[in-house]
Chain A
Amino acid sequence: MTERTRRLALLSGRAGLSLLAGAALLALGAAAIAVPGPRIGEGAEPIDIVPDRAEQALACAGGVLGLTLGENPQVTVTAMPQLVSAGDGAVVSSLTGSDALPAELPLEATLANAVPPAVVTLPADAPDERVAATETVRVAGSEAAGFVAAECAPAQRTAWLVGGDTTVGRTTWITLANPGPVDATVDLALWGASGPIEAPGATGIIVSPGFQRVIALDGLAVDELSPVVGVTARAGAVDARLQTSTVRGLEPGGLSVVSPIASPAETLVIPGVPIVNPEAVQQRSAAEGGDLFPTLRLLAPDSDADVTVRVIAASDESGASSASVPPAVTTSLSAGTVVDLPFAELPAGDWAFIVEASAPVVAAVRVSTVDPSPEALPGPVAGLAASIDQQWVVPSPVLSDGTRTLGAVGALAGTTARLHLAATSGAAQVDLDGRLIDVPAGGAVSVPVAGSTPLGITVTGAPVAASVSYRGDAAVATTRILAPRAAQQALSVLVD
């Protein structure tokens, strides 16, 4: 073979080899893409665990607070309420201590039967999961007078207390009750008419388990006409309330316990605002000042909001309702500034307030009742019984379709109680212990209920907000019907 042909053969042989290698690699690549490889092994599924049912504890507002007489006034309990509890298997106990009942207070200063606030516990093995309780008390004293009613509520991580007043003659206490087993560390944030209030000593408040802390709002927000308190528990959970009491001149009047709102929302429903004898209120406010009119306090804590307030007349069971519904009120709130909107022209009756905002807000309505003809006090000291009572009415939680919940009407002590239901988005039917009540779409209904009884409520249809109001001579108070504890959701746990 000549040199040339030999080289050609060699070259073509090598080129052929290279082509072969290239073809093999291409074929391998194509096979790699086209042929699916073996699939072995599978991932672990998450394990869904439904936690064991825990006991429920409702903390009650406790005794009415007041100051001891004498040189060094300290906070103490001046009246113990009556508790009405509802729920199969509910157990009533009390907290172990309170700032208002320290050990070293002289015995004669305290009330004989004063105990720390009650706690209603539904054990984990109780037959039903619903529990409710309400405390009521009528106070007629020289320092404080009025009718107080408050539902017992579970401890929460956040609470908004809209109400109170720290100007002259008005006293407001913040009570923080910890019914749970762990320490709670609480921060208070204060807002007023001129924006957020810097208050030293309002952060890092430690509430021991089973203890009730009492803090005077007057010390934190001095001379504030429209305070709003935001309570945040960094650890643990507390039941936060405001207790307000008013003295006008020498006449006490206007005890109220303000229940907490869980968190700001864009829609708030206050189903039952009782307006009783507005003419007497107008007459009295000419003499006493403007804080007797019905007032809606609004706060948008984080961002500016445009708020629309609609007032709906509540019909009674027969469907009759009062006329002349006032028009909706629209206002703009700037972030962090508390605004008090007066509703002086509201006629007598039961009204539902619906607050709709473009950003989360908190709101509450202050109503007053005036007894035009107070009784004369017996005894050598002449004088009239107290004739004014006030109440801060807070929004009720909205009960969705299918909710079965429990409420309790407290001991009436001379007042009459009514149940208020408001359905904002559609028609609803409420089963009240077998009695069916139709709530019209976008309307409100108020029916009388007996005192010291449990209320079993089942909602069908549109969501409904419910509350109970108590009215009498110089007595007005409201309590809310709370939603039942959310069903235990399964938690997905992934274990390696």
Chain B
Amino acid sequence: MQPLVTAVLVVRRGGDALEQTLTALTHQTRRPDRIVVVDAADDAAVTARLSETAPTHHVQTPATTAGFGRLVMAGTDQLPVEEAPSSPYGGIDEWFWMLRHDTAPDLRALERLLAAVEVAPSVAVAGPKVMDGAHPTTIAEFGETLTRTGASIALAERELDQAQHDRTSDVLAVGEAGLLVRRSVWRDVGGFDPALPHVDTALDLCVRIRLAGHRVVGVPLARVFAHETTAEFSRPGRRVRVRPRTLARWRRTAQLHRRLVYAPLAAVPLHWLSLVPFAIARGIGHLLAKRPTLVVGELMAALTVAFSGAAVPRARRRLANARQIGWAAIEPLRIDQRDVRRRAAIARDARRGAAEQNRIDRPDFAPGGVAAVVGAGLVGIAATAPLLAAQALGGGTLAPIASDIGALADAVRVTTEGAADPASFVFAALGSLTAWQPSLALVVLWAAALPLAALGAWWAIAPLVTRPGPAAAAAVLWALAPALVVGLTEARLSAVIAHLTLPWLVAAAIRLPTSWSATATTGLLTAVLIAVSPSLAPALVIVWIAAMVVRPRAIGRLLTLVVPVAALAAPLVVTRVLQGNLLAVLTDPGIAAPPGPSSPASILLGWPTLDPIIGPLAEVLPIADSPALILLIVGLPVLALPALAIIAPALPRGMRALAPLGLAALGLVTAVVASGISLTTAGGVAVGLDVGPAVSLYWLGLVLAAGIALDRMRRSGAPLGAFAVTTASALVTPALAAILLGTAAVEPLSEPRTLPALVAADAVGDPELGTLVLTPRDTGLAARIERGAGRTLAETRTVRSTSDDERESLAELVGNLAAPSGRDVMAELDQRDVRYVLLRASTAEIDGGEATAGDTALSDIVTALDATPALVPVGETDAGRLWRVAADDETRAEPPGDHPLTTTVLLGQLTVLAMTALLAVPTSLRPRRERSTDGTIDDPAATFDEETDD
């Protein structure tokens, strides 16, 4: 008997595709006996057009997000129930043929499908070859199967149809477009699973039909032309492209749902519990594979399936009712893991090929870059030779980083005093590099600063130039930048770190639009830069906004840069807002030490302060009294640099030098504005914002622009470049020699402590032990209480400030200690937990009789301290003269405790930083570069060369 075919047409949208489908449907060589139209388009024109075709049943549903399966079932529900066969030879075969508004069947499609199923009564589902409607010779999809882990994978996808799949018959599943299914089997297995609204609907149906003992075949000669993908179809309304992350989420949701449905009952609780942990693990995998957009989808898919209510039990019941055979029977139809790996390798190769199209050309690193870095390394080691044997560095803004790793961990917590500076994270990371002795990292940083700077500058300028010479010149100019030299000799840690970070930031930012890894690296480096020098934040914000204006496509990625910066800086900003002092966010972190005097003229020349160069110059030349002569001598040799930078835009393809010039201008303005702002005091002296980082930014702009100019000038630029490099290096050398000569502010510490060994030994068991440190200065006696073994970088916080009352009370205590007084200071010393008093002056200074603190002679102060009954003289130590407080006070005041939110905040910060770091880690292979030695296709083959000829 002739089978009875009912075509079920699900319509979501009208348009050309619907016209083609309706035309093809009415002109089939074997026309369907009944046509059921499910009209989910919510469009009167579409409804009218559908009515014109006079279907057997016209079901109207509102435009709904219900999936293909549910819509089909809304249509099949309208049909009359199958008649029970009365003849002993079987009844009429009823078949459903599923069509979508965008699937136009070939004119002979139904004929061929029926031909395939008529001769094989065991076949319950037949599926056509789905071709791409826009490219009719390309297979869109033909057959689906499952991998070992249950993911769906198409047997043939997006391939040119060259009859390579025309021998396919039995498959595990077919796609939903043009699917022909026997009605009785359809009824037995319960139809489509309504819990799979987007993808995998037909796959699930076919798997269940397979497990019920029937066969599923693909019929390659029957073709259906689909204009939308399954995922695109599942959206109501206008046709919208489905984003890859949405598709990934749908597929993962469907996979997890099917996993719970197909698993044996005993394993279901295990699978359910493992949903979220696996989602987190896969999220980390996505971060490592630089697909950060998929992370949220993973988690949402797991949560959707975990809390989908009764959907899974219902689906399991449906499966259990129809199941006849086990999974082992259909095992051969699943795809082998080897094939999956092969396909993934092919996809990887394709991606690499695409990346090679986009790769950025860099000049060869060897020999120019190597020479620059190695040369800078040798100069750096030679210049910092006296510091290499030290255990820690002191002077200026330097101090031991922390006493041990535990102190590093405490440094980043939010306490009742306020939030930790973002720079504490940077110092903690620096200290953990040499975890056995955190303060050693500073010595390593000082010794390695010059080669690191050269390397960074080479990486920053390499994408912008094509010749190795200008890149090497830029590397040398950056390594011997006056800002870095001043930072090294004047012991300005923030300036050194900022100078080292800037070129890497530029290098990462250039690659930002095309690489997630570069985006994450940029975010981390921006966070580090803003942490160590908050005064650069306004300039960086301006650059950020300018980048968003110039490249609107990358706005999404640029917005994600805020995340790591906010993670580090949010607690501090919140604390400052609560204090009502938002401007103080710009305070330089770390130990406050006044920078040298700076003037706009010195900033223009690239020197944060001219003191380190004036000293040596004044010994050689009589220039002490004329600032104009000084500026002339310092400025004239390096005039080549700004000259090159300015002519860069005039050269062919030199337009890219405009951005560095903009950076230079920003750096200049920031430096000049910052030089007048002072937000904190140290020892009664106002400490201005360090202009070093801003001057570094200015210098970076000039160096990059000059490098581009040299590159564009080709051969003629070589002598000019050599001249610029030579003069810049020569000018910087006297300042660089300061460490060797001992006139630098940075000094090596043989042990990581700034207080005498006796105090440090006592502080090991008693970290809250206080030492009153008195330092004689020109205007008076500076007093400060230090805890433990001395000040460390990790424990400094800019939010910690003394109130006026505390300052006055401490000043009174010191005034009555350091001068003959009748007051008994024992109680006040106990109240502050002060156990030692240290006067930072050597015996030679004290006995010399000339040294004073303000108007008081040091010897008088020593006499007064000796005469205080509360103090017992210990004597002279390497750090000064020490007194011990006589009575033993075992009770200590509580150190500032943890804020109630501290763990949460710290966990949040570390999570964000870890995710950014995972994203930043480069995990894919670098695109291969053409080497000139590889030869091209036109060169003769090397097969018969002498050495390879056997």
Contacts and interface: CB of A to CB of B under 8 A. Distances in A.
B654 interface: yes
B923 interface: no
A49 interface: yes
B650 to A, nearest CB: 3
Chain B interface main SS type: mixed
Interface in A249-291: none
B686 A49 contact: no
A488 B650 CA distance: 72
B677 interface: yes
Contacts of A180: 867
20 contacts: A14-B652, A17-B650, A17-B658, A18-B648, A21-B646, A28-B669, A33-B601, A36-B676, A40-B678, A45-B684, A46-B780, A47-B815, A182-B872, A236-B866, A491-B818, A491-B853, A492-B779, A492-B856, A495-B782, A496-B782
Interface in B636-651: 642, 645-651
B869 A50 contact: no
Contact of A32 (B604, B688, B782, B818): B604
A25 interface: yes
B812 A17 contact: no
Contacts of B672: 32, 37
Interface in B851-898: 853-856, 859, 863, 866-869, 871-873
A317 B821 CA distance: 41
B926 interface: no
A51 B823 contact: yes
Interface stretch (B191-199, B428-436, B803-811): B803-811
A46 B661 contact: no
A54 B869 CA distance: 12
What's the interface size class on B, roughly? 35 or more
Interface string B676-720: 111111111110100000000000000000000000000000000
A52 interface: yes
A21 B780 contact: no
Interface in A42-85: 42-47, 49-55
A29 B604 CA distance: 7
A54 B854 contact: no
Interface of B: 583, 592, 600-601, 603-604, 642, 645-652, 654-655, 658, 661, 664-665, 668-669, 672-673, 675-686, 688, 777, 779-784, 802, 807-808, 810-812, 814-816, 818-823, 853-856, 859, 863, 866-869, 871-873
B822 A29 contact: no
A494 interface: yes
Contacts of A28: 665, 668-669
A38 interface: yes
Contacts of A55: 822
Contact of B661 (A21, A45, A236, A492): A21
B677 A41 contact: yes
A24 B666 CA distance: 12
A150 to B, nearest CB: 23
A32 B603 contact: yes
Contact of B658 (A21, A40, A53, A492): A21
For the complex of A and B, the 4 pairs showing the least CB-CB separation, nearest first, are A49-B815, A492-B780, A494-B684, A18-B650
B814 A493 contact: yes
B869 A14 contact: no
B677 A40 contact: yes
Given A14-B651, A21-B658, A491-B856, A41 B679 contact: yes
A184 B153 CA distance: 93
A49 to B, nearest CB: 3
Interface of A: 14-15, 17-19, 21-22, 24-25, 28-29, 32-33, 36-47, 49-55, 124, 157, 180-182, 235-237, 488-496
B811 A493 contact: yes
Given A43-B681, A46-B854, A51 B821 contact: yes
A166 B227 CA distance: 126
A19 B818 CA distance: 64
A301 to B, nearest CB: 14
Contacts of A124: 822
A488 B654 CA distance: 72
B783 A38 contact: no
Nearest to B860: A489
Given A18-B647, A25-B646, 4 more contacts: A14-B651, A182-B872, A495-B684, A495-B784
Contacts of B872: 182
Contact of B777 (A24, A51, A54, A494): A494
Contacts of B780: 46, 491-494
Given A14-B650, A495-B810, A40 B604 contact: no
A429 B116 CA distance: 141
A43 B686 contact: yes
A25 B706 CA distance: 14
A235 B866 contact: yes
Contact of B783 (A32, A37, A494): A494
Nearest to B654: A14
A496 B802 CA distance: 8
Contacts of B655: 14, 17
B867 A237 contact: yes
B585 to A, nearest CB: 13
Given A14-B651, A51-B820, A496 B646 contact: no
Contact of A40 (B603, B676, B777): B676
A180 B661 CA distance: 71
A232 to B, nearest CB: 10
A157 B863 contact: yes
B816 A494 contact: no
B822 A49 contact: no
Contact of A492 (B646, B678, B821, B854): B854
A236 B867 CA distance: 6
B652 to A, nearest CB: 7
A50 B654 CA distance: 68
Contact of B649 (A18, A39, A50, A495): A18
- A47, A236, A237 pick with most chain B CB within 10 angstroms: A47
B685 A491 contact: no
Contact of B673 (A25, A37, A51, A490): A37
A53 B673 contact: no
Contact of B812 (A32, A49, A496): A49
Nearest to B603: A32
A55 B824 CA distance: 12
Given A29-B668, A492-B854, A42 B781 contact: no
B823 A43 contact: no
B650 A15 contact: yes
A344 B347 CA distance: 121
A393 B387 CA distance: 59
Given A235-B873, A495-B807, A41 B678 contact: yes
A458 B810 CA distance: 38
Nearest to A22: B646
B685 A43 contact: yes
A24 B124 CA distance: 79
B810 A491 contact: no
A495 B808 CA distance: 8
- A32, A39, A45 pick with most chain B CB within 10 angstroms: A32
Contacts of A492: 779-781, 853-856
A22 B868 CA distance: 67
Nearest to B680: A41
Given A52-B823, A182-B867, A491-B781, A25 B665 contact: yes
Contacts of A157: 859, 863
Given A33-B601, A40-B676, A494-B683, A51 B819 contact: yes
A359 to B, nearest CB: 15
A125 B402 CA distance: 48
Nearest to B705: A21
A346 to B, nearest CB: 36
B164 to A, nearest CB: 53
Contacts of B677: 38-41
A182 B869 contact: yes
Contacts of A495: 684, 782-784, 802, 807, 810-811, 814
